[in-house]
Chain A
């Protein structure tokens, strides 16, 4: 670290790389924070966590007891143990007692991306509510056809204020905050097959969840929405057009990462990014040959190969709706978690088949990164987190959270602390802190280990060896 500072002083390394080095160093030292406690007011499992995107200061949590709470993670409310432990109590919370609060578990709580004046909660009571943070009143209420699994708002959006909602229903709905109505209904996901296996006395029902477990907006285009359904499909939608324009297929794969952008010519780079945005606008058919050029290596199988097998039924459909026929799956079982990297080039997905997959968004191919053998929660949507430079992905694996290297799939860290399954995690890139929430009602803070500075305190003396004999 001192060497880096020296180098920076000498001008040997650039500010960006200096800060990223420091950050990655800090990330590799993440551990359960002893001096930052979030006092959870929730009496149920934590289903959703998000730090606001504007200040990076307010943590919003949604829990199964129909409560949502906001914490100030920068300033502690009080200290304990001679100022050693900073306690962060919630600034406010809304729960069942609230006049217009949710009745059942809140599955998703997100900030309005533009400022912290609004937040959105989706609940199992079939409602999505938009709250005014300052008055803690409901300003808008959307009635959905079923349990809401996940809500999402685009961080890039400048021309729309849409909440994408994944519900029990197979149709994804977009709720418009500005008008208070449903703007779109995106249909394409299909009812998931329920396997019933007769076991001597009873039927073992393998999968009963149905609908769309997870939705995510693209981080490169404000019009692109990504949804993962219980049918195991990950679909890409351009909300300006009918139908989805891309369905990820796990059998379509390329090996490894694309060659780094810098290695290519600048012109090529432009064409790549263009092709991505253009690809969204074009029809599926026209996109396929284009991709062939853009994507140099690793393509094993053309999408055309599977297209003709669909038969003549698709001829009758609107060209935009062609992809409805596409039954490709990204996971065996439901897609439970989606996360787009910050640069918008890659997508990480987690499924109830206990697999984590990294997708190249430009080609739409599975990169075949092996994330090892993990066990993921299958019945609930999980929330993944990616570090800022997209080097690490944090995945809740039952009672622990694991950090994987995105490109190699190697597990780098294991965060043990929760006593029951972890549902969600959020990485705050500002402080390089990780927040995790689980079924044990705790919100844990994982922060870079403190440097030597604190050890000189007198109270620290209490924690040392005391051999009597």
Chain B
């Protein structure tokens, strides 16, 4: 009992597959209806026989003489091909046929109408073949063969989607690999220098702490007890410092004054070092360690932990600094930074400085500058030279320049080494020569202070001037004022004379920029005053060369006119040609119509034609009906065509009659030549 039922179901399923496929392909849409497609897939999925039938039906549909049907069929084929192994094995057996029907590479089997869809069909088929080959080519020799044949023998252009994707992927991987390599290298260097970096940072942090201690103790402690160098060493223990800082926090903030200026300067310097260098580099290292992939994760993790600790401590130190009240405006920091960079590049040359510093200090500064050149930061941060280095940092820039200057002008300094000299000469060679300006007064000096307003002369009772500490010019303003100003200087060439020939003889000597009021635009002229037509048309819009421009314009105008004339002539010619072509086309159309009519008239009207006619007649009054497959193939029939058909029908029948009788005559003549 079970068998027949199953059979019936099977039969039903098979019928269903066929019906579904035919329904899905009988559409004018550019996609298969997804619901139908899903239905086909679900039916075919569970029965091999259904799949076989589907493959068979689809191959049959591929033979249909309509590109739209083939196109939709191909889409369904692709769907099933990508999913079912059995379908693949069935299909590759006849792959050459499928390709011939979808790509149309055989000359005797071109793709059917409509041509627009035929071309999409072809491109789609090629794309699918490439996709199939990429995914399953390894399992099916036929796929490889078909792909190879189309690609290498027939030289079809494949979209190469896979390869492009692969290339992009490869490039991405390459980039990643390089990044990893760089990270690895960085990591290695970090690992090597880690301890020294750590020490350095620690030293800076310690110094800052000390500076803070000094500053704070000075503020508060000076009245109570004398501060010794030995004393503040004690405060280095973190607990004590912490207590100290805590207590200070509640107290009033420390202000900078002439007493602790040096300490504050040092503090500022150190703070800058901390923020711009150490903190940044620590941050970088952390990100590096997070990103890098290394074999020994343990050391990395420990380093990371340490770095995070360091960062935290640095942050706290920074906070302490900020809380300590020493003013550290951002812009000033920036300025300093820039200056320092500038300095290291060695771009200072002939700089004059008006400000004065103690000459005794110079030598000392200079020598320490040399040391600084070796970039031993530890040296600078040594505890004993604490105060000095603070000074140093402040004056370093200007001092060095001055020192060099002096050395240059008088060459009194015997102490300076040969290497210094060579550096100097190098720098000199590179240095730009500048005009003097007031901006040079403060060249290289660190001006992060607000400047007191000079009210000299306004006050009569105090000839030194009253000092008003409130009247200050902010440092930013000073910096602005000290910018180098450059005055634009235009370099005027000599204005050319007009040189047009005059009636009384000689040449016009008027000098005008663009046009002479008597002789029009100024153009290059030869000795006799005749204009020279330069062939080269350089686009010079410099106002200084106005005469040239005018000349160019004039030439362009002439050319434009000529071109317009030429264009007109060409247009006329084209018009004539197109007219002629139109005429020819009309003649050809007429001929075609005649031939067609002759064909129709001579044979009995084909049923298809009759149907067509009927449909068109029926359709017109109703208006546009639903688009059908047949309508895609049909040519539009115009009134003119129909009239022509009518008119020509009679003529054509006559013509064919005449021809036939003639033909008969001819055969008769041939068969019975003696009777003729």
A residues adjacent to B (C-beta < 8 A): 32-34, 37, 80-81, 84-85, 399, 416-419, 440-442, 444, 462-469
Cβ contact within 8 Å between B140 and A34: yes
Q: Could you list 14 further interchain pairs (A-B, Cβ under 8 angstroms) beyond the known A417-B142, A440-B149, A444-B141?
A: A34-B141, A80-B138, A84-B138, A417-B141, A419-B146, A419-B149, A419-B153, A441-B153, A442-B145, A442-B148, A464-B85, A465-B84, A466-B83, A469-B38
Cβ contact within 8 Å between A467 and B41: yes
> Which chain A residue lies CB-closest to B45?
A467
Pick the residue among A32, A419, A465, A468 that contacts B141 (CB under 8 A).
A32
Q: What residues on A are CB-neighbors of B659 within 8 Å?
A: none
- Least distance between B592 CB and chain A CB atoms (Å): 22
B343 within 8 A of A: no
Pick the residue among B45, B82, B83, B93 that contacts A416 (CB under 8 A).
B93
B residues adjacent to A (C-beta < 8 A): 38, 41-42, 45, 82-86, 88, 93-94, 96, 136, 138-142, 144-146, 148-149, 153
Cβ contact within 8 Å between B138 and A81: yes
- Least distance between B54 CB and chain A CB atoms (Å): 14
Cβ contact within 8 Å between A465 and B83: yes
- Least distance between B33 CB and chain A CB atoms (Å): 15
Q: What residues on B are CB-neighbors of A416 within 8 Å?
A: 93-94, 96, 142
A-B complex: 3 closest residue pairs judged by Cβ atoms = A81-B138, A463-B139, A419-B149
- Least distance between A203 CB and chain B CB atoms (Å): 19
Q: What residues on B are CB-neighbors of A440 within 8 Å?
A: 149, 153
- Most interface-central of B45, B86, B88, B139 (chain A CB within 10 A): B139
Cβ contact within 8 Å between A467 and B84: yes
Distance of A37 Cα from B148 Cα, bound (Å) = 13
Q: List 6 contacting pairs A-B, 8 Å CB cutoff, sorted by A.
A: A440-B149, A441-B153, A465-B83, A465-B86, A466-B83, A467-B84
Q: What residues on A are CB-neighbors of B38 within 8 Å?
A: 469
Cβ contact within 8 Å between B149 and A85: no
Q: What residues on B are CB-neighbors of A33 within 8 Å?
A: 141
Q: What residues on B are CB-neighbors of A469 within 8 Å?
A: 38, 41-42
- Least distance between A227 CB and chain B CB atoms (Å): 34
Give the secondary structure class of A's interface.
loop
Q: What residues on B are CB-neighbors of A467 within 8 Å?
A: 41, 45, 83-84
Q: What residues on B are CB-neighbors of A464 within 8 Å?
A: 85
> Which chain B residue lies CB-closest to A414?
B93
Given contacts A399-B96, A416-B93, contact A32 B142 (CB under 8 A): yes
Q: What residues on A are CB-neighbors of B93 within 8 Å?
A: 416
Pick the residue among B42, B85, B140, B146 that contacts A465 (CB under 8 A).
B85
- Least distance between B85 CB and chain A CB atoms (Å): 5
- Least distance between B667 CB and chain A CB atoms (Å): 14
Q: What residues on B are CB-neighbors of A417 within 8 Å?
A: 96, 141-142, 145
- Least distance between B232 CB and chain A CB atoms (Å): 74
> Which chain A residue lies CB-closest to B144?
A37
> Which chain A residue lies CB-closest to B149?
A419
Q: What residues on A are CB-neighbors of B141 within 8 Å?
A: 32-34, 37, 417, 444
Given contacts A440-B149, A469-B38, contact A34 B139 (CB under 8 A): yes
Distance of A464 Cα from B86 Cα, bound (Å) = 8
Cβ contact within 8 Å between A466 and B82: yes
Q: What residues on A are CB-neighbors of B148 within 8 Å?
A: 442
Cβ contact within 8 Å between B41 and A419: no
- Most interface-central of A416, A419, A464, A468 (chain B CB within 10 A): A419
Q: What residues on A are CB-neighbors of B140 within 8 Å?
A: 34
- Least distance between A402 CB and chain B CB atoms (Å): 15
> Which chain B residue lies CB-closest to A468?
B83
Q: What residues on B are CB-neighbors of A81 within 8 Å?
A: 138
Distance of A459 Cα from B138 Cα, bound (Å) = 10
Distance of A360 Cα from B401 Cα, bound (Å) = 116
Pick the residue among B41, B94, B136 that contacts A463 (CB under 8 A).
B136
Distance of A440 Cα from B153 Cα, bound (Å) = 7
Distance of A462 Cα from B88 Cα, bound (Å) = 13
Distance of A465 Cα from B84 Cα, bound (Å) = 4
Distance of A163 Cα from B121 Cα, bound (Å) = 53
Pick the residue among B41, B138, B142 that contacts A85 (CB under 8 A).
B138
Cβ contact within 8 Å between B149 and A463: no
Distance of A466 Cα from B96 Cα, bound (Å) = 25
Q: What residues on B are CB-neighbors of A442 within 8 Å?
A: 145, 148-149
> Which chain A residue lies CB-closest to B152?
A441
Cβ contact within 8 Å between B83 and A419: no
> Which chain B residue lies CB-closest to A85?
B138
Cβ contact within 8 Å between A419 and B145: yes
Distance of A126 Cα from B564 Cα, bound (Å) = 66
- Least distance between B81 CB and chain A CB atoms (Å): 11
Distance of A212 Cα from B642 Cα, bound (Å) = 61
Q: What residues on A are CB-neighbors of B138 within 8 Å?
A: 80-81, 84-85, 462-463
Distance of A444 Cα from B140 Cα, bound (Å) = 13
- Least distance between A34 CB and chain B CB atoms (Å): 5
- Least distance between A415 CB and chain B CB atoms (Å): 11
Distance of A84 Cα from B85 Cα, bound (Å) = 18
- Least distance between B475 CB and chain A CB atoms (Å): 70
Q: What residues on B are CB-neighbors of A84 within 8 Å?
A: 138-139
- Most interface-central of A33, A416, A441, A442 (chain B CB within 10 A): A416
- Least distance between B400 CB and chain A CB atoms (Å): 70
Cβ contact within 8 Å between A463 and B96: no
Given contacts A419-B149, A469-B42, contact A463 B142 (CB under 8 A): no
Q: What residues on A are CB-neighbors of B139 within 8 Å?
A: 34, 84, 462-463
Distance of A407 Cα from B551 Cα, bound (Å) = 98
Q: What residues on A are CB-neighbors of B136 within 8 Å?
A: 463
Q: What residues on A are CB-neighbors of B84 within 8 Å?
A: 465, 467
Distance of A170 Cα from B94 Cα, bound (Å) = 42
- Most interface-central of A442, A444, A465 (chain B CB within 10 A): A465
Q: What residues on A are CB-neighbors of B45 within 8 Å?
A: 467
- Least distance between B50 CB and chain A CB atoms (Å): 13
Distance of A32 Cα from B85 Cα, bound (Å) = 17
Distance of A416 Cα from B97 Cα, bound (Å) = 10
Cβ contact within 8 Å between A463 and B83: no
Distance of A416 Cα from B88 Cα, bound (Å) = 15
Distance of A34 Cα from B144 Cα, bound (Å) = 10
Distance of A468 Cα from B139 Cα, bound (Å) = 21
- Least distance between A416 CB and chain B CB atoms (Å): 6
- Least distance between A100 CB and chain B CB atoms (Å): 29
Distance of A462 Cα from B153 Cα, bound (Å) = 29
> Which chain B residue lies CB-closest to A400?
B96
Distance of A465 Cα from B141 Cα, bound (Å) = 19
> Which chain B residue lies CB-closest to A82?
B138
Given contacts A419-B96, A441-B153, contact A463 B145 (CB under 8 A): no
- Least distance between B246 CB and chain A CB atoms (Å): 68
Distance of A282 Cα from B88 Cα, bound (Å) = 60
Q: What residues on B are CB-neighbors of A37 within 8 Å?
A: 141, 144
Q: What residues on A are CB-neighbors of B88 within 8 Å?
A: 463
Distance of A80 Cα from B139 Cα, bound (Å) = 11
- Least distance between B216 CB and chain A CB atoms (Å): 73
Q: What residues on A are CB-neighbors of B83 within 8 Å?
A: 465-468
Distance of A34 Cα from B145 Cα, bound (Å) = 11
Distance of A311 Cα from B93 Cα, bound (Å) = 58
Distance of A444 Cα from B141 Cα, bound (Å) = 9
Distance of A417 Cα from B146 Cα, bound (Å) = 8
Distance of A84 Cα from B139 Cα, bound (Å) = 8
- Least distance between A216 CB and chain B CB atoms (Å): 31
- Least distance between B110 CB and chain A CB atoms (Å): 17
Q: What residues on A are CB-neighbors of B42 within 8 Å?
A: 469
> Which chain B residue lies CB-closest to A36?
B141
> Which chain A residue lies CB-closest to B146?
A419
- Least distance between A465 CB and chain B CB atoms (Å): 5
Q: What residues on A are CB-neighbors of B85 within 8 Å?
A: 463-465
Q: What residues on A are CB-neighbors of B153 within 8 Å?
A: 419, 440-441
- Least distance between B149 CB and chain A CB atoms (Å): 4
- Least distance between A442 CB and chain B CB atoms (Å): 7
Distance of A416 Cα from B278 Cα, bound (Å) = 75
Distance of A441 Cα from B145 Cα, bound (Å) = 11
Q: What residues on A are CB-neighbors of B149 within 8 Å?
A: 419, 440, 442
